[in-house]
A and B are shown apart, each in its own frame.
Chain A
């Protein structure tokens, strides 16, 4: 079975440029999560969606970050304009959000470097 698919796996760009990260969740999962991982701050939840609707975006650092989920099989995380401090590994995860908590399954991430 296909897991969570993220693209690109690596992205290197200059500060000020727009960056778009993409995620395809596991088919049948209705909750989707975006995380950022750095050595200093560990794994941080940025935003999550349930049934394509953003539920909690309190982890989004600032207005330069935005996320969308136009349908059940696709989500994007956009940074505009990008800054060097945005350099991190960005993970997408999905789960089946029923009545009980279920494990989140992660993609292999996008390693983002802003020069």
Chain B
């Protein structure tokens, strides 16, 4: 079946650098995408979302880019901090009868070194 997958399972950066986490999706019908951050012992925490009628959305220190042509999603974190160390998940919703239902990727481990 169709699923969401991540290119890189781990990413290590230095404090202050910018981080880019990538996600490939395969369901061309997906119309809603979301990024979550999960710290150890906690549930996934919402970071930012984007709908398919947009290609870019910015939040506080984070930017999500959506390229529907190649079915690619990315999360950019500016001036990465040690507190950003976590597992990051992308998720998609295919809309239609799947309304409200998210399919999650495997996750990327981000480690920020001081």
For the complex, would chain A's binding face be called helix, strand, loop or mixed by DSSP majority? strand
- Closest chain A CB from B32 CB (angstroms): 4
* Residue numbers in B under 8 Å from A105 (CB-CB): 46
Contact A43–B89 (Cβ < 8 Å):
yes
Q: Return the chain B residue nearest A56 by Cβ.
A: B101
Chain B residues bordering chain A, tally (CB within 8 A)? 24
Task: Choose from B31, B46, B107 the contact partner of A42 (Cβ within 8 Å).
Answer: B107
Chain A residues bordering chain B, tally (CB within 8 A)? 23
Q: Return the chain A residue nearest B49 by Cβ.
A: A103
Interface residues as binary, A5-47 with B (CB distance below 8 Å gives 1, 0 otherwise): 0000000000000000000000000010100000000110100
Contact B51–A48 (Cβ < 8 Å):
no
What would 16 A/B residue contacts be, using CB atoms closer than 8 Å? A4-B43, A31-B100, A33-B102, A43-B104, A45-B102, A45-B103, A48-B101, A91-B43, A91-B44, A101-B51, A101-B93, A101-B99, A101-B100, A103-B46, A104-B46, A108-B42
